[in-house]
Chain A
Amino acid sequence: MFKTLNKMLFVSALLCALPLVADEQAKGLAIAQEQKARDRGWVESESELQMILRNAQGRESARRMRTFALEVQGDGDKALTIFDEPLDVRGSAFLTHSHPTAEDDQWLYLPSVKRTRRIASRNKSGPFMASEFAYEDMTSFELEKFSFRYLRDEACGELQCYVVEQTPTDTFSGYSKIIVWVDQAHYRVIQAEYYDRKASLLKTLTASDYRQYLDKFWRPHKLHMLNAQTGKSTDLVLETIRFQTGRTAADFDVSALERAR
């Protein structure tokens, strides 16, 4: 009798909790949608980046690259990255056509052999340029790549943030979940925690020095990724960013990769 009552209590608790979960998911999705909507319309950009890799002992090593990006309506964005430093990889160009649901298309052009190589793109969790950023951290944010759950409101520095849990839909993602702090005023990612496949904290991302462009788009000029398991970290510094450079889809075609410079 007591057992049955207990069961009933449990079931009714579940019934009450279910719509709650649905609410949290709806709110999480709504936040993500707004985040995406606020970043729509930038069309294309060109940026210069510096990456500072730091090992656990604090020894630093620098990388330099330029990235051209194209916003694509109805599909994932396209990005072309040209490496400038270290000098032995200078001129190598990495092209990504990201897709919200399908696998991304990736190519690497090697100027030494004048050859474009296709990359098996399931390599999402692999490190980008030996940094603490994985390839999947560098691709465009697409709603279809995650399921969302709103967790709570929380102060993040001087700002007030939504805390949202993102669960990758792709089983080949290196993450079991990502907890993201999004500021309530502008829907910018302020902080994120990445959990590995064993659900332990892997990395923490801190975005700072946000500046607004075209009176609308916020871009962080510094991303700091700290690996909680190895103590290594990477700073991704956005040195300059320009919009309206006049690039079109043709500049992001594979056939244009060999003229990337």
Chain B
Amino acid sequence: MRLSLGLGAVGLLCLAASTCLLAETVGPVKADTTLWRLALEARPDEHVSMPQVIYALWQQNPHAFRQNNLHHLIQGAVLTPPSREQMLATDAATAKTWYYAQLAEQPLPSHAKPTTSTLVSTRRDNGSATAALSPPPATSADINSNKNAMVIAELDTPDADVSPLTTRVSPAVSVAAATALAESTSSRDTHATPQHPTTAKGSWRVQHEFAAEQRYFNRSGMQGAAHFHSLLSYRGQWSYEDVSRRHNVNIEPYLRWHQRDSDSHLVDLQQAYWRYIGTGWEVKAGIDTVFWGVTESQHLVDVINQTDVTAGVELEAKLGQPMLSLRRTGKAGTLDIYVLPYFRERQFPAPAGRLGPPLRVNQDLTWYESSDGKHNLDVALRYSQRFAGMDVGLSFFSGNNREPLLQPTPSGELQSLYYQMEQYGVDLQWVQGEWLWKLESIYRRTGYAEYVAATGGFEYTQIGAFAQVWDLGWIAEYQYDSRGAQATLPGQNDLFLGWRLALNDLAGSDFLVGVLQDLDNKQSRSMKLEGSTRLSDSMRLSVHAWLFQTDDPLDRLFLLKRDDYIALQLSYYF
């Protein structure tokens, strides 16, 4: 007992030393040495995965393994750690797959005791494992002939008597062993949940959300639109990940039904893509929803997806965008490249659905500047990097403008005009204690205009507000648009003030109050109120309300003047 404690201390010293400097050699291998411990000593930093270290160690030091067998460390052997580059030469996922294959070769003790496990070597002639990679340039014959080197701790039968010297867990032996260990340990408890990380199948996660919303408008609409509107929606999510965690499939359908307006119905795929994750890069093909930006009151740089205007005046909802995207990540930052082969047109509610333009938008009349129309090949780039407390994003977009120009037709309808556009964007976020400073700015050149717009401000969070466990956030953002009154969005010279309150209670209740005040016209403002609380583990109730005030018929808000409303939504998750 004392002996094993002493050894433990030695192990600790080794570990402590390994964290400071990269060992020139590791070992010599003792009876209780595990490959995992050696790999820990040899590992330069956490960017290298343990399987990468183990694979490189095994490749570099054929003399230390009997018959190239990972599980047959030869006692007395001294190993030379490979360089960091050698370790990284095999990507993490390949190394992991190889490692698991090796582990699969290892028999598990059938009666694993809670604090004991398999040893450095538990089998004698295992043969070489089913490695998908090149075996080490080993002269295994030499090793075989050197019988003196075979002072491997031998334990042919799992329940053989284990000497104190060898009762050390060998992490390198296997995840499965460790799991079996955890299982046997926890089998004393009732809630043991066996987990098999090395099973050959990936995993699916599925979830659904069903929501019912009731809106009430206090005045009838411009063309006598009704006071009460009901909406029903469904959102599903199927997410698959394979065992290597490299392949990833996500499918997220979204359906909406609107009681008063068939133009507001929606059948959409928010996500339907396959993604492959490599080392330092990933590629994605299919439909996805991408968000860019930092500010709360307006999203200027966010340009990949079409806005789902029919979902509400918040303009937070989007339509899924078909894409092929490539991401490169590294110390120098993250670069995303998007190729967008198909364009999603903006859908507007008909007057009966309210909260939209005063006339119906006829989607059959849609006009494109590009001769390829909705098949125009749009491209986008975004580079992002973090510097201490500062997040920086730079973006570029070229293609169909997501925001159409609406033009009345002689037949009393509206026609959508989609010009080409080029946009350069920058988004900045700076964290300073309880302050978050935010800025988004774009320069956009499009068929009929060329302009600059910006949104900037802060969010300050007060912890323990009102002597409760509440968090109170103060949000202030200024919105600027160089087009002034010709701007297609209300924020041309406006100030947004908002308060966000989180009660940190069991129900996860939160509230948001916001006012967007036009600084050019004191009579023009919009206000919103949002609140939500959990009713049960699978149900959430939320409320939101909007007020639109203006006396200027030329103000964009004037069209919404009669559309003040309050809505109650009940969401059920399963």
Which of B8, B46, B114 contacts A70, CB < 8 Å? B46
| Contact between B537 and A87, CB atoms less than 8 A apart | yes
Cα distance A37–B574 in the bound complex, in angstroms:
44
Q: Is B239 an interface residue (CB 8 A)?
A: yes
Q: Is B450 an interface residue (CB 8 A)?
A: no
B461 touches A85 (CB 8 A): no
B446 near A: Cβ within 8 Å? no
**Roughly how many angstroms separate A89 CA and B186 CA in the complex, as a whole number?**
29
Contact check: which of A213, A239, A246 meets B178 at CB < 8 Å? A213
Residues A211 and B186 in contact, CB atoms below 8 Å apart? yes
Contact status B290-A91, CB under 8 Å: no
Chain B residues within an 8 Å CB radius of A216: 8, 11, 169
- Of the stretches A12-20, A111-119, A141-149, A157-165, the one at the interface is A111-119
Contact A43 B47, beta carbon cutoff 8 Å: no
Q: Do A245 and B197 touch (CB < 8 A)?
A: yes
* In contact, A254 and B505 (Cβ under 8 angstroms): no
Q: Which of A110-155 contact B (CB under 8 A)?
A: 111, 113-116, 118, 120-123, 125-127, 130
A72 at the B interface (CB under 8 A): yes
Q: Given A43-B40, A73-B46, does the pair A87, B538 have CB atoms closer than 8 Å?
A: yes
How far apart are B192's CB and chain A's nearest CB, in angstroms?
A: 8
Tell me how far the C-beta of B51 lies from the nearest C-beta in chain A, rounded to whole angstroms: 6
B433: nearest chain-A partner, CB-CB: A122
Q: Chain B residue with minimal CB distance to A123?
A: B463
A261: interface (CB < 8 Å): yes
Which one of A38, A114, A255 contacts B291 once the chains associate, using CB atoms below 8 Å?
A114
Against A, the Cβ 8 Å flags (1 = close, 0 = not) of B298-324 are 000000000000000000100000000
Instruction: Give every chain A residue within 8 A of B186 (Cβ-Cβ).
Output: 211, 221, 240
Which residues from chain B contact A30 at a C-beta distance below 8 Å?
Answer: none
Our pick among A103, A113, A126, A239 for the contact of B504 (Cβ within 8 Å) is A126
Contact A244–B178 (Cβ < 8 Å): yes
Q: How far is the CB of A135 from chain B (nearest CB, A)?
A: 10
Q: Does A4 count as interface, using CB distance less than 8 angstroms?
A: no
For chain B, residues 264 to 282, give those with C-beta under 8 angstroms from any C-beta of chain A.
275, 277, 279-280
- Assembled-state Cα–Cα distance A43/B178 (Å): 14
In contact, A114 and B178 (Cβ under 8 angstroms): no
Q: In this assembly, does B10 line the interface, its C-beta being within 8 Å of a C-beta of chain A?
A: no
Indicate whether A55 sits within 8 Å of B277 (C-beta atoms), given known contacts A122-B434, A255-B329.
Answer: no
Q: Looking at the complex, which one of B178, B459, B537, B571 makes contact with A85 (CB distance below 8 Å)?
A: B537
* B237 CB–A CB distance under 8 Å: yes
For residue A214, CB closer than 8 A to chain B, the reply is yes
Closest to B178 in A: A243
CA distance A113 to B182 in the complex (A): 38
Smallest Cβ distance from B315 to chain A, in angstroms?
12
CB <8 Å contact, B277 and A259: yes
A90 within 8 A of B: yes
The answer to the question of A7 belonging to the interface, with a C-beta cut-off of 8 Å to chain B, is no
CB proximity of B175 to chain A, nearest CB, Å = 5
Count of B interface residues, CB-CB < 8 Å: 85
Identify which of residues 209-246 in chain A touch chain B, using a CB-to-CB cut-off of 8 Å.
Answer: 209, 211-216, 221, 239-246
Instruction: Quote the shortest CB–CB distance from B514 to chain A (angstroms).
Output: 16
Q: Output the least CB separation between B163 and chain A (Å).
A: 15
Q: A40-B19, A255-B334 are in contact. Are A122 and B463 (CB under 8 A)?
A: yes
Q: Quote the shortest CB–CB distance from B427 to chain A (angstroms).
A: 12
Q: Whole-angstrom distance from the CB of B380 to the nearest CB of chain A? A: 16
Partner of A88, one of B115, B117, B239, B508: B508
Q: Which residue of A lies closest to B271 (CB)?
A: A114
Q: Pick the contact of B461: A90, A123, A221 (CB < 8 A).
A: A123
The distance in angstroms between the C-alpha atoms of A108 and B433, with both chains bound, is 17
How far is it, in angstroms, between the C-alpha of A89 and the C-alpha of B334 when the chains are bound? 27
8 Å CB contact of A113 from B96, B291, B434: B291
CB distance from A199 to the nearest CB of B (A): 17
Which residues of chain B have C-beta atoms less than 8 A from A85's C-beta?
537
Kindly report which residue of chain B lies nearest to residue A46, judged by CB atoms: B197
A48 within 8 A of B: yes
Answer whether residue A21 sits at the interface, using C-beta atoms and an 8 A cutoff.
no
Residues of B within 8 Å of A259, CB to CB, are: 248, 275, 277
Given contacts A88-B540, A127-B469, whether A246 and B92 have CB atoms under 8 Å apart is yes
* A214 touches which of B178, B205, B471 (Cβ 8 Å): B178
Contacts A254-B386, A255-B334 given; indicate if A249 touches B46 (C-beta within 8 A): yes
Contact in complex: A215, B169 (CB < 8 Å) = yes
A126 to B341, CA, bound (A): 46
Question: How many angstroms from the CA of A228 to the CA of B26 in the assembled complex?
Answer: 51
Q: Which of A61, A88, A113, A172 contacts B571 (CB 8 A)?
A: A88
Assembly CA distance A103 to B508 (angstroms) = 26
The answer to whether A48 touches B16 (Cβ under 8 A) is no
Please state if A38 and B334 are interface contacts (CB–CB under 8 Å).
Answer: no
When the two chains form their complex, are residues B505 and A130 in contact, meaning their CB atoms are under 8 A apart? Answer: yes
Q: Which residues of B contact A87 (CB under 8 A)?
A: 207, 537-538, 573-574
Question: What are the interface flags for B149-170 relative to A under an 8 Å C-beta threshold, 1 for contact and 0 otherwise?
Answer: 0000000000000000000111
A85, A130, A221 interface centre (most CB from chain B within 10 Å)? A130
Distance between Cα atoms of A253 and B432 in the complex (Å)? 21
How far does the alpha carbon of A40 sit from the alpha carbon of B534 in the complex, in Å? 40
CA distance A240 to B459 in the complex (A): 38
Could you tell me if A120 and B435 are in contact, using CB atoms closer than 8 angstroms? yes
Q: Which residue of B lies closest to A135 (CB)?
A: B463
Is B15 at the interface (CB under 8 A from chain A)? yes
**CA of A118 to CA of B392, assembled, Å:** 12
| Interface membership of A169, Cβ < 8 A | no
Q: How far is the CA of A246 from the CA of B197 in the complex (A)?
A: 11
User: Taking the nearest CB of chain A, how far is it from the CB of B34, in angstroms?
Assistant: 9
Q: Does B140 lie at the interface of the complex (its beta carbon under 8 Å from any beta carbon of A)?
A: no
Shortest Cβ distance from A50 into B: residue: B191
Please state if B16 and A239 are interface contacts (CB–CB under 8 Å): no
Per-residue interface assignment for chain B, residues 165 to 181, with 1 indicating a CB less than 8 Å from any chain A CB and 0 otherwise:
00011110001001101
16 A-B pairs, CB-CB below 8 angstroms?
A40-B16, A40-B19, A53-B506, A73-B45, A86-B534, A88-B573, A118-B294, A211-B114, A211-B185, A221-B186, A240-B186, A246-B99, A254-B386, A255-B334, A259-B248, A261-B239
* Chain A to chain B: the 10 pairs with minimum beta-carbon distance, closest first: A215-B169, A87-B573, A246-B96, A88-B540, A115-B291, A214-B171, A86-B537, A248-B49, A122-B433, A122-B434
